[in-house]
Amino acid sequence: MQQWQISEWGKLAQTEPKAQELKPGQVRLRIRAISLNYRDHLMLQGQYNPKQPLPLVPCSDGAGEIVEVGPGVNRWKAGERACPLFSQSWISGPPNKERISQTLGGPLPGTLQPELVVSQESLVAIPEHLDWHEAACLPCAAVTAWNAISDLPAGSRVVVQGTGGVSLFALQLAKAAGMEVFITSSSPEKISRALKLGADASLNYRENPDWSRAVRAWSKEGADCVVEVGGAGTLEQSLRCLKPGGKIALIGILAGASKPLNVLPILMQQLRIQGVLVGNRDDFEAMNRVVASSRLQPVLDQRVDYDQAPDAWRRLASGQHFGKVVISGCW
**Which residues are registered as beta bridge partners of 27?**
69, 118
Kindly list the structural domains of the chain, giving each domain's residue range(s) and its CATH number in brackets, ordered by start: 3-137+298-328 (3.90.180.10), 142-275 (3.40.50.720)
Q: List alpha helices for the chain, DSSP H.
A: 38-45, 132-135, 143-149, 165-176, 188-196, 212-219, 232-241, 264-268, 281-294, 309-318
Phi-psi region of 204 (alpha: psi -120 to 50; beta: other; left: phi over 0): beta
Q: Which pLDDT score is estimated for 256?
A: 64
pLDDT at residue 147 in the model: 97
Distance CA 13, CA 295 (A): 37
Q: How far apart (Å, rounded) are the C-alpha atoms in residues 153 and 254?
A: 28
Mean pLDDT across the chain: 95
Listed in sequence order, the residues at least 6 apart from 131 whose beta carbon sits closer than 8 Å to its beta carbon are: none
What is the Cα gyration radius of the chain? 20
pLDDT band per the 50, 70, 90 thresholds, residue 330: confident
Write the Ramachandran bin of 178: left for phi over 0, alpha for psi from -120 to 50, otherwise beta: left
Task: For residues 309 and 36, give the distance between their C-alpha atoms in angstroms, rounded to a whole number.
Answer: 10
Residue 252 has pLDDT above 80, yes or no: no
- 8 Å CB contact between 137 and 146: no
Per-residue confidence (pLDDT) for residue 102, from 0 to 100: 96
65-91 pLDDT, tens per residue?
Answer: 999 999 999 999 999 999 999 999 999
Tally of CA atoms within 13 A in the half-sphere of 139 that contains its CB: 33
- Is residue 34 within 8 A of residue 62, CB to CB? The reply is yes
* Predicted confidence band of residue 113 (pLDDT cuts 50, 70, 90): very high
Helix (H, G, I), strand (E, B) or coil at 5: strand
Q: What is the mean pLDDT of residues 162-187?
A: 96
Q: Average pLDDT, stretch 173-201?
A: 96
Range of lowest pLDDT (2-11, 126-135, 164-173, 251-260): 251-260
pLDDT digits (tens, 9 = 90+) for 255-290: 567 778 888 889 889 999 999 999 999 999 999 999
What is the spatial distance between Cα 202 and Cα 185, in angstroms, rounded to a whole number?
A: 8
222 in the Ramachandran plot: left (φ > 0), alpha (ψ -120 to 50) or beta?
left
- How far from chain centre, in Å, is Cα 225? 18
- What is the spatial distance between Cα 33 and Cα 108, in angstroms, rounded to a whole number? 18
Phi/psi-derived region of residue 185, left when phi > 0, alpha when psi is between -120 and 50, beta in every other case: beta
The answer to whether the CB of 243 falls within 8 A of the CB of 223 is: yes
Mean pLDDT over 209-223 rounds to 94
Cα of first residue to Cα of last residue in the chain, in angstroms, is: 8
pLDDT for the residue numbered 187 = 94
